[in-house]
Amino acid sequence: MKEELFVSGRNIPNIDPYLNIWHWQIPLYLFLGGLAAGILFFAGYYTVRGKADKMQTTVKWAPIIAPIALVLGLFALFLDLKHKLYFWQLYTTIRLESPMGWGAWTLMIITPISFIWVASYMKELVPGWNWKFSILEKFEAFVIKYRVALAWVMMIYSIILGVYTGILLSAFNARPLWNTSILGPLFLVSGFSTGLATIIWISKDAKERKVLSRIDLVFIIIEIFLIVHLFMGFLAGSQTAIEAANMFLGGPFTVSFWVFVVILGLVFPAVLETLELWGYHVPKWLPPVMILVGGFMFRFIMVEAGQITRYLY
Amino acid sequence: MRYAMAIDTKKCVGCGDCVVACQTENNVPHGYCRDWIVESVDGTYPSLSLEFRSERCNHCDNSPCVRCCPTGASHVEEGGIVTVTHDKCIGCGACIESCPYDARYSHPEGYVDKCTFCLHRVQKGQQPACVKVCPTKCLHFGDLDDPNSDVSLAIKDRKWKVLAPEAGTDPQLYFLT
């Protein structure tokens, strides 16, 4: 048996007895970032495929949520900073080694793109919309002319944004629960799934909802596979990784993770969506709400639990 | 040049003088500390072993905190000392998450703070405050590249270990066992 004590009375706020330096702001941002990435990706995808008219909600209406989500997410990130007035230092440096640096620059690119995308559809969404300045009219015409190119850029950046929300955590070697490269694809898939859920929720077109539900089902199944792989990887890993997994397999996060994230956030909505595809009546809002709540819980639990895991010496 | 520290766990009695000296020298805010003492009891009664370790930032050669810093506030000074430039730090907390030793904390004024090996003293040719005050002389500081430095001589003929070498950070605190 080994017992280690701080005999000099160390009790630093947010560090001891276990690390808790990132609170609700980071998981909220990871959730909103993934959601925006999902919405923008599918808006771009159906534009590139030339199906903008069949998928009206996906391409034209849902993207309105993306810039709002990104701005709220950025605000959450700002709230997380402890030295707030120096936040601009993020944009005077380019550090390729720093995941957070990557994230800051990705957001700097994709947030304006999402605004431009929504703006280019303003005249269709709001009848009688007038940009008032000729330069804005010219810019709109330019964007509409090259919309497919913009859709490609948007798709690529939404993938980077979705993966980055996972990489932000997985780059920390010191936190065994996060330090797995599966986190990148897992957060990407989960983010895309929450984005799809949002579109399904607001879409009034039954055909469009059916197409999106099918894709969402595939994403949910991939996500469940990735979660199983995550734990298989941990259990085959070092002592620190096994202890990280045990927090979810009998430890303090067992119930919250398996009940709220996996069962209520993935399995139930998948079953409900399948029933809906088979023709049974399911409340339209129910599966999307479950997916969104599950997605948020997933990020919240991962951030909270990851900070508790550490190297033992 | 490579500054490092050796801590003689056979001589350390866990008095906490190094902690107080650091807090005084560096004006560390109340309730915080840049160094601390761990008492490690191993085994089952009656065959127990006791070890005292005066711990602080390991000033790692492969420092994850410097790598993950988005603004370059965390950086490596001359001699491998890892420090934070206060007015470049945005307080994002990434370096705190990245440290396997939990050696960093968020200063009440917002920036991230940590042990500097008393860089301001070292530059004047003085020893870090903790080393200077240690009553049992169990702390040894100096340049590893100089074979006659205090730290080189301390680890030369002794068994030593570093903490969590499996984290791969190449830490520079040597605990003599």
Q: What is the pLDDT of residue B120?
A: 96
Q: Which pLDDT score, from 0 to 100, does residue A311 have?
A: 87
Give A170 to chain B, closest Cα distance, Å. 10
Chain A contact probe: residue of B37, B68, B98, B101 with most A CBs at under 10 A = B68
Encoded tokens for A213: 């539900």
Asked if A242 reaches chain B (Cβ–Cβ under 8 Å), the answer is no
Looking at chain A from residue 37 to 96, which residues have their Cβ under 8 Å from any Cβ of chain B? 80-84, 86-87, 89-90, 92-93, 95
The single-letter code of the amino acid at A238 is S
Find, in chain B, the residue whose alpha carbon is nearest to that of A20: B97
What pLDDT does residue B24 have?
97
Residue B66: which of B79, B82, B77, B55 has the closest Cα?
B82
Position A74 scores a pLDDT of: 95
pLDDT tens for A16-61 read 889 999 999 999 999 999 999 999 999 999 999 999 999 999 999 9
Taking the CA atoms of residue A303, residue A304, residue A306 and residue A312 in that order, the dihedral angle to the nearest 10 degrees is: 150
**Residue A165: phi, psi to the nearest 5?**
-60, -30
CA distance B34 to chain A (A): 9
Nearest CA in chain B to A309: B100
Distance from CA of A142 to the nearest CA of B (A): 35
**Any bridge partners for residue B175, and if so which?**
B7, B161
pLDDT < 50: residue spans in chain A: none
Cα(A101)–Cα(A94) distance, integer angstroms: 7
Q: What is the pLDDT of residue A298?
A: 97
Strand partners, B51: B40
pLDDT at A222: 97
Give the pLDDT confidence score for residue A64 in this predicted structure. 97
Read off the DSSP letter of residue A87. Answer: G
* Complex ipTM tops 0.95: no
Closest CA to A169 of A26, A6, A46: A26
Q: Quote the pTM value.
A: 0.94
Residue of A nearest to B51 (CA): A4
Report pLDDT for A301: 97
**Which chain B residues contact residue A237 at CB under 8 A?**
none
Residues of chain A contacting B39 with CB distance shorter than 8 Å: 4-7
Low-confidence ranges of chain B (pLDDT < 70): none
Of A216, A230, A137, A133, give the one whose Cα is nearest residue A176: A230
Q: Which of A6, A13, A19 sits opposite B36 (nearest CB)?
A: A6
In this predicted structure, what is the pLDDT of residue A132?
87
B19 vs A contacts (CB less than 8 Å): 8
pLDDT, residue A270, reads 96
DSSP calls for A149-189: HHHHHHHHHHHHHHHHHHHHHHT-TT-TTT--TTHHHHHHH
Identify from B40, B97, B115, B166 which residue to disrupt to test chain A contact, counting A C-beta atoms within 10 A and taking the largest count: B97
